[in-house]
Amino acid sequence: MTDRAENSLLILPGLLLLVLAFFVPIAQMLMLSVSGENGLTLAHFTRFLSDPYYLNVLWRTVRLSAIITLICALIGFPMAYIMAHVSPKLRLWLVIMVILPLMTSVVVRTFGWMVLLSRSGLVPEVLRDLGLVGRNFSLMQTETAIVIGMVQVLLPFMTLSILGVITRIDSRLEEAARTMGCSFLKTLRTVVLPLSVPGIVAGSLLVFTLSASSFVTPNLLGGARIQVLAASIYRSVTQTLDWPFAAAQAVILFLGIIVLLMPYARLSGRSNG
């Protein structure tokens, strides 16, 4: 048996698993999304794309995911920079602190936010006491609540992605930049930031995909009025039992994410080369 044949044979079990666990369900979803009562149909897609309600849900999903990604990057980059420059012991504690939200159950965490953000919760009460907001102010069932809750969960993905890249930047480069006339902040902008791009791209891909497809947190913090696509899919499956329509929405989410992420992936490919 040649080496090549042997290799192909060895790769077979993995390939089989991948096909069964990954491609079959996606193929099934694709099939389901175009199946109607009398054969193939695009009716589910036209229904989605012609209904302003669903278009609004789609737009909200994309918009919120983008905002969440941006905020994660804005917090994650300085955080990763600090983590990369403290002592290894302190770094370990910071890493634990950052990934702590991932270790608690999504339901517990989200109920925690509900306690904090509801009308009688800590955050609105403090804001009220400071006279910054009106008497009926509540953060629950707002997009702000969704963003806050999601940023907390997804921040570790961004921070750790950037941390991995920043720790590999030679500290001499920053020192060299300082001797060439850069202030600390200018060094961050002209040296550290450009060299962190691969990490920021990888983190953004993770955060965007995860937030676009997340369902529990937006549903609990945003309530029934503020629907995101994943929650809408869930409702189609469990409440209206319209599986083909749910599949169509899933395909749209899937394609939407791919289209949005394509240029991003190319960006990271270029900065690696």
Partner 1 sequence: MAEVRLNAIKKSFGPVEVLHGISIDIASGEFVSLLGSSGCGKTTLLRIVAGLESVTSGTVEIGGRDVTDLPPEKRDIAMMFQSYALLPHLSVAENVRFPLRMRRIGTLDEQRDKVRDALETVQLGHLADRRPNQLSGGQQQRVALARAIVSRPQILLLDEPLSNLDARLREDMQVELIEIHKRLGLTTLFVTHDQEEALSLSDRIILLNKGKIEQEGAPREIYAQPATGYASSFLGAANLVSANITEEAGGPVATLADGQTLPVGKDETRRGPAVVALRQEDVAIKPKGEGVIEGKVRTRVYLGARNRYVIQIGKEEIRVLAPHDLDFERGETVGLAIDPARLRVLSEGE
Q: Do 200 and 118 contact (CB within 8 A), yes or no?
A: no
Cα gap 54→232, rounded to integer Å: 9
Sole binder of partner 1 in the list 12, 90, 92, 176 (CB under 8 A): 176
Sole binder of partner 1 in the list 179, 238, 239, 272 (CB under 8 A): 179
The stretch among 15-23, 81-89, 184-192, 257-265 that binds partner 1 (CB under 8 A) is: 184-192
DSSP string computed for 128-190? HHTTSS-TT---TTSHHHHHHHHHHHHHHHHHHHHHHHHTTS-HHHHHHHHHTT--HHHHIII
**Does residue 181 touch partner 1 according to CB under 8 A?**
yes
**Please, what is the angle between helix 243-272 and helix 24-33, to 10°?**
130
**Does residue 75 touch partner 1 according to CB under 8 A?**
no
Sole binder of partner 1 in the list 175, 240, 265, 270 (CB under 8 A): 175
The stretch among 80-88, 190-198, 252-260, 262-270 that binds partner 1 (CB under 8 A) is: 190-198
**Does residue 195 touch partner 1 according to CB under 8 A?**
yes
Write down the least CB distance from residue 34 to partner 1, Å. 46
Tokens of 140: 């629950």
Q: Distance from CA of residue 239 to its chain's centroid?
A: 26
**Does residue 89 touch partner 1 according to CB under 8 A?**
no
Sole binder of partner 1 in the list 108, 172, 239, 272 (CB under 8 A): 172
Cα gap 230→243, rounded to integer Å: 14
Residue (of 65, 77, 30, 28) closest to 200 by Cα position: 77
**Does residue 177 touch partner 1 according to CB under 8 A?**
yes
Q: What is the largest CA-CA distance in the chain?
A: 80
139 or 162: CB nearest partner 1? 162
Write down the least CB distance from residue 128 to partner 1, Å. 44
**Please, what is the angle between helix 143-166 and helix 106-117, to 10°?**
120
7 or 183: CB nearest partner 1? 183
Task: Report helix, strand or coil for 43.
Answer: helix
**Does residue 162 touch partner 1 according to CB under 8 A?**
no
**Does residue 55 touch partner 1 according to CB under 8 A?**
no
Sole binder of partner 1 in the list 3, 37, 129, 170 (CB under 8 A): 170
Residue (of 90, 210, 77) closest to 150 by Cα position: 210
**Does residue 192 touch partner 1 according to CB under 8 A?**
no
The stretch among 49-57, 185-193, 215-223, 242-250 that binds partner 1 (CB under 8 A) is: 185-193
Task: Report helix, strand or coil for 240.
Answer: coil
**Does residue 180 touch partner 1 according to CB under 8 A?**
yes
53 or 184: CB nearest partner 1? 184
Binding site for partner 1 (CB under 8 A): 170, 172-173, 175-184, 186, 190-191, 194-195, 271
